[in-house]
Amino acid sequence: MARVHTKEIIDKFQLELVSGEEGVHRSVTTSDLSRPGLEMAGYFTFYPAERLQLLGKTELSFLSDLDPDRRMERLNRLCTDETPGIIITRDMEVPKELLKASHISGVPIMRSKLTTTRLSSRLTNYLESRLAPTTAMHGVLVDIYGIGVLITGNSGVGKSETALELVKRGHRLVADDSVEIRQEDEDTLIGSAPELIQHLLEIRGLGIINVMTLFGAGAVRNYKKIALVINLETWDAKKVYDRLGLEDEMMQILDTEIPILTVPVRPGRNLAVIIEVASMNFRLKKMGMNAAKQFSERLTNVIETPDEEDY
């Protein structure tokens, strides 16, 4: 399970650690945040203790109206062994009862100068990115005319050589050999390269080359949304390949379905040009211009239109 430590959040958002230093290595395992308003009123039946807790102006104002004993009881129940941290927003003063509860439980108490709404938005975006489901695939990811194309296929089929030709034609390499894929939401997959092999390309006979050093910073990018998968496979004379492109095949990666094209490989085929054109055609389809469907409709009209000689 992906997780983020409270210490990373403190460093990322430049939070002030007020109390509970021994708890900064607690783990955050969900991107959901909690503003414990009902809990301040005494209702802890469904208290999400595993979430980061945000106390803003409303919560602290309500707390200040409680008598000291009740305030202490509520804050003790707020600080559990599961709670990764409590953040006070707007740089407001931390209640002394909360500091006592923190010393007992070890829950980190942090303070931010941001408003509650702004901090909540930024925290949610950061946690959703860090805690998103991830996987790794063997392939090459290239940014072609703004389209993230994941090139897959068996080892030795020519993926890296094709990527090199695409880079020479002005496109940008994201990852070679191993592509780390993160699902940021239901239909968004973000691909990137493992840090160890970032900007590197392996060409059999040449070895490892650094694309950024050879072609410049404009030839690489660190991550890209994956929109299309192109699978390269050795030409099989017995197999029937799609010649019209009327039916869209889909491939599931994590919980997201991505269009996939199968391109047969044999001597004489310029794979870089084919993939380049496939990317442009994919963009046209997204704009509502499908050449295969237009041809099919024209063919149907010709077949259905009676010939004048029949009359």
Active-site annotation holder among 238, 243, 266, 307: 243
28 is in an annotated binding site: no
Under DSSP, the state recorded for 220 is: B
160 is in an annotated binding site: yes
- 236 has catalytic annotation: no
Instruction: Answer yes or no: are the C-beta atoms of 194 and 142 closer than 8 Å.
Output: no
139 is in an annotated binding site: no
- 3 has catalytic annotation: no
Active-site annotation holder among 3, 25, 138, 169: 138
* Alpha-carbon gap, residue 86 to 309, rounded angstroms: 85
Active-site annotation holder among 7, 35, 122, 177: 177
- 243 has catalytic annotation: yes
Under DSSP, the state recorded for 217 is: G
22 is in an annotated binding site: no
* Alpha-carbon gap, residue 136 to 266, rounded angstroms: 28
- H-helix or E-strand containing 281? helix 271-286
Segments of the chain assigned E as strands? 4-5, 16-19, 27-28, 33-34, 52-55, 86-88, 109-111, 134-138, 140-144, 147-153, 172-175, 178-185, 188-192, 200-203, 207-210, 223-234, 249-253, 256-265
Q: Is 14 exposed, middle or buried (0-12, 13-18, 19+ CB in 10 A)?
A: exposed
159 is in an annotated binding site: yes
202 is in an annotated binding site: yes
Active-site annotation holder among 51, 71, 159, 224: 159
76 is in an annotated binding site: no
- 25 has catalytic annotation: no
Q: Hey, what amino acid is at 82?
A: E
Mark the binding-site residues for ATP, compressed into ranges.
153-160
Mark the binding-site residues, compressed into ranges.
153-160, 202
Mark the binding-site residues for Mg(2+), compressed into ranges.
160, 202
Q: Residues with catalytic annotation?
A: 138, 159, 177, 243
